[in-house]
Amino acid sequence: MRKYIIAGNWKMNLTLEEGYGLASEIKWMVADEVNNNIEIVIIPSYIHLSGIQNLLKDSSIKLGAQNCHHKNSGAYTGEISPAALANIGIKYVIIGHSERRQYNGETNEILAEKINAAIENGLTPIYCFGETLWERENNLELTINECQVREGLFHLTEDQIKKVVLAYEPVWAIGTGKTATSAQAQQMHSFVRELLKEKYNKETAESISILYGGSMKPENAKELLSCPDIDGGLIGGAALESRSFVEIVKSV
Ligand code: PEP
């Protein structure tokens, strides 16, 4: 069955020393966690990846990148190649985080290409989707999320979609301290799982992890993670502090 995934997105935070310090603390604090049903993932900025990978080599914690380009190489100054990430042993890559959709103009079309590139290189994409506050207030959340999921992912074959992790991240809950209620989150997760069922089949839909992201913290993690269709968390702010991140891991 599906594994829980608890992934910490550090965004554009922490110096190299701070990053190494945080990764070391998390490593030691989860060393006794023998729950094989949880995958712990750290997603620091690119410059930390190799160093932290070295630091985690005797740990089961996995590493992810916050984005990648849709081409493997070429004249794309400042971009990061999915092939290069795979080559150094990175397992996950976030695709379509709302901050990239908002500040970098990433569209569902370009994200679909990034998803392809990630899968072709053996990376597991964490595909983010979510509605803005305006969209929710205007009862558009189901339409918007369906569109992001369809356009970003539904060109994939059944074998390929099984390699994707989804993350429902309502934009109004990211970094704001406002969390979707467990009922709101569960409703969206179950809606998306239904879409997966209709497009693929029940067995495939049931095998895909759908994470929740948006101000998840130790105080609300247990309730969110106990919902039947919530398979883990993509965590921003609370992942920058070892104690709160590990508390969330222990809430599973
Ligand atoms: C995120 O950036 O994916 C996120 C969920 O951030 P936060 O936990 O800070 O809301």
pLDDT in tens, 170-217: 999 998 888 899 999 999 999 999 999 999 999 999 999 999 999 999
| Token pair recorded at residue 160 | 């390929």
97, 135, 141, 189: which one is catalytic?
97
Pocket test for ligand 1, best of 5, 42, 166, 169 (most atoms within 8 A of CB): 169
Which pLDDT value is given to residue 179? 87
Mean pLDDT of the chain: 96
- Catalytic status, residue 97: yes
- E-assigned strands of the chain? 4-9, 38-43, 62-65, 92-95, 124-129, 165-168, 210-212, 232-235
- Catalytic status, residue 18: no
Q: Can you give the pTM of this predicted structure?
A: 0.97
Reduced to 3 states (helix: H, G, I; strand: E, B; else coil), residue 82 is helix
pLDDT in tens, 75-93: 999 999 999 999 999 999 9
The H-assigned helical ranges of 81-181 are: 82-87, 98-103, 108-120, 133-137, 141-153, 158-161
Pocket test for ligand 1, best of 94, 234, 248 (most atoms within 8 A of CB): 234
Nearest CA to ligand 1 atom 4: 236
pLDDT band of 72, cuts 50, 70, 90: very high
Residue 205, CA distances (Å) to 5, 104, 153, 159, 224 in order: 17, 30, 13, 12, 20
pLDDT band of 34, cuts 50, 70, 90: low
**Contacts for 164 with CB less than 8 Å, ≥ 6 apart:** 115, 119, 124, 125, 127, 153, 156, 208
Find out whether 9 and 97 touch, Cβ atoms under 8 Å: yes
Residue 87 CA, chain-centre distance (Å), reads: 20
Residue 36, CA distances (Å) to 61, 128, 152, 252 in order: 11, 25, 30, 11
DSSP bridge partners of 62: 41
Reduced to 3 states (helix: H, G, I; strand: E, B; else coil), residue 84 is helix
Interaxial angle between packed helices 242-251 and 218-225, expressed in degrees from 0 to 180 and rounded to the nearest 10: 20
Pocket of ligand 1 (CB under 6 A): 9, 169, 174-175, 213-216, 234-238
pLDDT in tens, 231-247: 999 999 999 999 999 99
User: Rounded CA gap, 61 and 46, in Å?
Assistant: 17
User: Rounded CA gap, 37 and 57, in Å?
Assistant: 20
